[in-house]
């Protein structure tokens, strides 16, 4: 077995602001180290859900509390989770007024109907005991009122456990100022995908990620090339040539991790028994 490994990200599109990047590094390191310890006694599936839950709870990131607001000033969030061992995928799209969309998506893995949207997703969450929560922070509301553009961001995590099982989860508040009803890639397999060989979580502009089927293609290419790194080396330049705005992190069954973006800085941190690896 390759041993435990975890990689998390907080999005791409960040500019070279040293204060922002320093904050991102500190927050990601804390969550990565906490969840790598968690992985020692939990499955990869439990770990990616926990990592994304912590990212959703940090208003610095665009997921859960602190999500970007759509054109009508409401936060509609999307999240998905996939078990590479079983091939099961659960997701919520445009869910409102829950604290942790990723946990609702995780609960759906046990259902026959595993992808729910909007009011149906919210009603399911309430039946499952997820209480009412307002994810809109004062800072996001202020920026929305000023019609100030946000940086593109999404959060995600991929992990492999001591049994060699891969899992991945992704969550987002969207790109900000989008039309109500717009669907993000983060609640779809094209933005969040895992197999028994590799797992990938995407970030960037959802439409570009959907049209490239990015996470699925990364995982398939990793399998064909027997390396997640080679998959990124081939695919990221290809989508950059097509002027796509997207990035991703990935992990393969050998515990090797990789990442790449066509946008400004991708913030990601990976952890193995050998220590931390950072993208920025």
Read off the pTM: 0.97
| Cβ atoms of 77 and 31 closer than 8 Å | no
Supply φ then ψ for residue 77, to 5 degrees. Answer: -115, 155
Q: Among all chains, which residue has been given the structure tokens 């907080």?
A: 10
Known catalytic membership, residue 154:
yes
Q: Among all chains, which residue has been given the structure tokens 């990793």?
A: 222
Please give the average per-residue pLDDT across 141-154, as a whole number: 76
pLDDT per position as a tens digit, 170-192: 999 999 999 999 999 999 999 99
CA distance 64 to 265: 22
Beta strands per DSSP E along 89-213 = 89-95, 115-117, 155-160, 166-172, 192-194, 198-204
**Closest by alpha carbon to 206, among 77, 117, 119?**
77
- Is residue 149 very low, low, confident or very high in pLDDT (cuts 50, 70, 90)? low
- Is residue 8 very low, low, confident or very high in pLDDT (cuts 50, 70, 90)? very high
Q: Where are the alpha helices (DSSP H) in the chain?
A: 18-39, 44-57, 101-108, 118-127, 138-145, 206-212, 214-225, 228-241
CA distance 176 to 181: 12
Range of the domain at 110: 5-278
CA distance 58 to 212: 29
In the three-class reduction of DSSP (H, G, I as helix; E, B as strand; rest coil), residue 110 is classed as coil
pLDDT per position as a tens digit, 10-50: 999 998 999 999 999 999 999 999 999 999 999 999 999 99
pLDDT per position as a tens digit, 61-92: 999 999 999 999 999 999 999 999 999 999 99
Active-site pick, 12, 154, 172, 272: 154
Q: What is the overall mean pLDDT for the chain?
A: 96
- Is residue 224 very low, low, confident or very high in pLDDT (cuts 50, 70, 90)? very high
What is the count of structural domains for the chain? 1
CA distance 163 to 10: 27
> Which domain CATH number covers 138?
3.60.20.30
């Amino acid at each position: 077995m390759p041993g435990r490994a975890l990689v998390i990200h907080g999005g791409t599109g960040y500019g070279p602001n040293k204060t922002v990047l320093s904050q991102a590094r500190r927050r990601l390191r804390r969550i990565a180290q906490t969840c790598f310890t968690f992985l020692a006694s939990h499955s990869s599936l439990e770990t990616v859900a926990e990592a994304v839950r912590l990212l959703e709870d940090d208003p610095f990131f665009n997921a859960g509390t602190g999500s970007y607001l759509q054109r009508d000033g409401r936060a509609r969030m999307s999240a998905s989770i996939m078990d590479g061992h079983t091939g099961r995928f659960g997701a919520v799209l445009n869910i409102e007024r829950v604290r942790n969309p990723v946990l609702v998506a995780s609960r759906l893995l046990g259902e026959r109907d595993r992808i729910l949207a909007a009011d149906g997703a919210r009603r399911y969450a309430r039946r499952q005991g997820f209480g009412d929560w307002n994810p809109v922070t004062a800072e996001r509301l202020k920026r929305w009122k000023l019609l100030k553009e946000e940086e593109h961001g999404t959060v995600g995590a991929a992990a492999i456990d001591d049994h060699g099982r891969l899992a991945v989860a992704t969550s987002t508040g969207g790109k900000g100022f989008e039309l109500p009803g717009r669907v993000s890639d983060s609640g779809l397999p094209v933005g969040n995908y895992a197999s028994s060989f590799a797992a990938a979580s995407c970030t960037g502009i959802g439409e570009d990620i959907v049209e490239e089927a990015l996470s699925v293609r990364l995982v398939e290419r990793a399998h064909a090339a027997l390396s997640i790194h080679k998959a990124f080396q081939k695919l990221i330049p290809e989508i950059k040539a097509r002027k796509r705005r997207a990035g991703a992190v990935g992990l393969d069954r050998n515990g090797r991790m990789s990442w790449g973006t066509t946008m400004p800085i991708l913030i990601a941190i990976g952890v193995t028994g050998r220590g931390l690896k950072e993208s920025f």
